Amino acid sequence: MAKDKVKGIFCLEGLWSDDLRIRTTVKPILELLELNSDIPFIHEDCATIEEFKFYLNKWTQKKYKKYPILYLAFHGSSNGILISNNFLSLDKIGDQLKGKCRKKIILLASCSTVRTDLRNLKRFLRKTDALALCGYQRIVPWIASTAFELMLLATLQENVFDGRGIVAIKRKTTVVAKMFHDLKFRLVTQ
């Protein structure tokens, strides 16, 4: 894959447990992609909503334009994510990203976040101008979702992030998602 075609991944990750001795993280997925496919990544931990908003603002800066994949790895519930047990709705996240996500894809690697009315997801896409929003509609097991996300993030590298490319991406992710049908993955475009 040509260096100029590679799409970097900007990952924000929450705490998975109150017990800090438990070291669960999605970072090895990113390290594997970087090591084997030269896909660059930025990974930041977010224990508070303030940290999350700080790093979300960083992602929208021009110097991070080569990181068009926003990978949000948090606990979740319908229509939002949980940051240290504090609910942050997709609507609030959309407000912060308003108009700043052109030609970008947002992956919500959190249980049940896209288990909401399609109108909420479409509103988020219109508000943010994101090319696509994707995530899970149910509580997902760690190992299966990790394997799926590795394959998904690799698949996102195969097409340009534009109108024609997203059609191909949607088709390819549907094939990958069928292998993991129990995850109830959903990809929504404008």
For the chain, percent of residues with pLDDT exceeding 70: 98
Which residues lie below 8 Å from residue 64, measured CB to CB, with a gap of 6+?
8, 10, 42, 58
Domain residue limits at 22: 3-189
pLDDT tens string 77-135: 999 999 999 999 999 999 999 999 999 999 999 999 999 999 999 999 999 999 999 99
pLDDT in tens, 150-166: 999 999 999 999 999 99
Structurally, the chain folds into a number of domains equal to 1
Q: Using CA atoms, how far apart are residues 171 and 189, in angstroms rounded to an integer?
A: 12
Q: What pLDDT is attached to residue 136?
A: 98
Task: State the CATH number of the domain containing residue 162.
Answer: 3.40.50.1460
The mean predicted confidence, pLDDT, of the chain is 95
- CA dist 152 and 71 (Å) reads 11
From residue 122, alpha-carbon distances to 3, 80, 109, 125, 133 in Å are 32, 14, 18, 5, 9
